[in-house]
Amino acid sequence: MRGVVGNAQAQAVLERALATEQMRHAYLLHGPEGVGKRTLALAFAQAALCLRRRPGESEACGECASCHKLLHGNHPDLAIIEPEDDKRWLSVKLLREMQHLASLAPTESAHRIFIIPDVDNDLQEATANTLLKTLEEPPEGVIILLLAVEPDALLPTILSRCQLIGLRPLTTEEISQALRERWSVAPDAAEQLAGLANGRLGWAIRAHEHPDEQAQREQLLERLIALVAAPTDERMRSAATLGADNGAARATLDQWISWWRDVMLAANGAHALRSTDAARREAERVGAAIGPERAHAFLDALLAALASLDINANPRLTLENLALALPRVRQVGARR
C-alpha cells in the first residue's frame, strides 16, 4: 500500500477488503508506538476514497482530486478525531459531532472515514459509550479506524465491534532500507538510525529530521552502557538524574530495556541483535560475562520497574533500585 513500510500481513488484510469492496465498518489497528498505524490508516483511507480506483484494485491513484485533498489534509469525507489542543481527553461534544457527521451522506465518494489515532489513551467512560453508539449502528458507507498501542485498555464491547489488525515492530533492515530509499538517508546513517530505532520507523524518521533527539538518545544509551562498569556511588548519582521525573525515568527505561534485550539475547548466544557498533559489542561482552540467568533477571527487573511507574511509583527510587540490582561487569582493561 502506498507509502507503507513492512507489516505485509496487516496490509494484505486491508488490501483484500479494498479490492473486493468488502470493507468492515470498524477496524482496530494495534501495535507499538511508531510502527506505522497512522500511515497505514491514511493509506487505506486514501485508497477507499480515491475516485479513480477501479474494481479489484487496492491502490489509490495518487493523482485524482480526492487523493490530492487527502494528501493535503482537507478531504471532507475524512475526519481525524483528536482531543482539542488544551484537552487531555476526547470530549463528549467531539464524539457527538462525529456521530452526527457519520449520519450524513459522504460528500465526494462512497465512504465517510473516521480515524481516532490514540483511542486507548483518549477515551473516558462517557466518550467510550458515545463512540460505542456509532459503532453499534454504523450508517451506510462509514468506516471507523481506531488506532491503539494497548487494545486491552478498550471496552470489550468496542473491541467486539472491530476487526483487529496487529502491527509489529519493523526489522532493522526494513527500517534501514526505507530510510535509504524513501528518505534518501546515506547508508551509514540509515544503518545507525535503524539500529537505534527499536523497530519504530516513525522514531527513525523523526530522529533523521530532528537530529537533537537522536543525539540525546545516543548519549543516554552511552550512559546506560557505562553504568554496567560503574561503582555504586556513581550508579546512585546517575539514577538520581535519570529518574528526576516520571518522563525522564520512562525514556531511560525504554532505552535500557531495548539495549538489555540485546544483552539477554547475546547471553543466550543469539546473533540477531538490534544494537549496532559499540552498543552491540558491549551487549555481547556483558551478555557473555553475566550469562543468561542474570541477564534475564535484570530484564525482568526493568520491565517490572516500567510497570511500577504506571502505578505512580517514585521514579528516582525506582531507578536507584535498578542501579543497585544491575549486574557489574568491569570495563576491558580496567582494574576496579
C-beta of 121: minimal distance to Zn ion in Å? 32
Helices 187-196/172-182 angle, 10° precision: 140
Query: In the window 297-326, what residues touch Zn ion (CB under 5 A)?
Result: none
C-beta of 78: minimal distance to Zn ion in Å? 13
Query: In the window 114-173, what residues touch Zn ion (CB under 5 A)?
Result: none
User: Judged by CB, which is closer to Zn ion: 67, or 305?
Assistant: 67
C-beta of 72: minimal distance to Zn ion in Å? 13
C-beta of 28: minimal distance to Zn ion in Å? 26
1 binds Zn ion (CB under 5 A): no
The rounded Cα 60 to chain-centroid distance in angstroms is 25
What DSSP character marks residue 326?
Answer: S
Helix (H) or strand (E) holding 192, with range, is: helix 187-196
E strands present in 150-200: 163-166
Query: Under rule CB under 5 A, how many of the chain's residues touch Zn ion?
Result: 6
C-beta of 53: minimal distance to Zn ion in Å? 6
Of 4, 29, 45, 50, which one interacts with Zn ion (CB under 5 A)? 50
Q: Stretches 47-55, 136-144, 232-240, 320-328: which one binds Zn ion (CB under 5 A)?
A: 47-55
Helix (H) or strand (E) holding 264, with range, is: helix 246-267
**Cα dihedral 23, 26, 32, 38 sign:** positive
64 binds Zn ion (CB under 5 A): yes
Q: Stretches 32-40, 52-60, 111-119, 135-143: which one binds Zn ion (CB under 5 A)?
A: 52-60
Helix (H) or strand (E) holding 284, with range, is: helix 277-310
C-beta of 169: minimal distance to Zn ion in Å? 30
Of 10, 14, 23, 67, which one interacts with Zn ion (CB under 5 A)? 67
Evaluate whether 224 touches 252 at the Cβ level (below 8 Å): yes
**Using CB atoms within 10 A of its CB, is residue 189 exposed (0-12), middle (13-18) or buried (19+)?**
middle
Q: Stretches 31-39, 57-65, 273-281, 286-294: which one binds Zn ion (CB under 5 A)?
A: 57-65
C-beta of 51: minimal distance to Zn ion in Å? 6
**Using CB atoms within 10 A of its CB, is residue 153 exposed (0-12), middle (13-18) or buried (19+)?**
exposed
61 binds Zn ion (CB under 5 A): yes
> Which contacts (CB < 8 Å, 24+ apart) does range 291-295 have?
291/267, 292/264, 292/267, 292/268, 294/267, 294/327, 295/260, 295/263, 295/264, 295/266, 295/267, 295/268, 295/327
Helix (H) or strand (E) holding 254, with range, is: helix 246-267
C-beta of 56: minimal distance to Zn ion in Å? 15
> Grid coordinates representing 306?
516500567
What DSSP character marks residue 231?
Answer: -
43 binds Zn ion (CB under 5 A): no
Q: Stretches 51-59, 135-143, 159-167, 268-276: which one binds Zn ion (CB under 5 A)?
A: 51-59
User: Judged by CB, which is closer to Zn ion: 50, or 94?
Assistant: 50
Q: Stretches 67-75, 93-101, 131-139, 300-308: which one binds Zn ion (CB under 5 A)?
A: 67-75
71 binds Zn ion (CB under 5 A): no
Q: Which residues bind Zn ion (CB under 5 A)?
A: 50, 52, 60-61, 64, 67
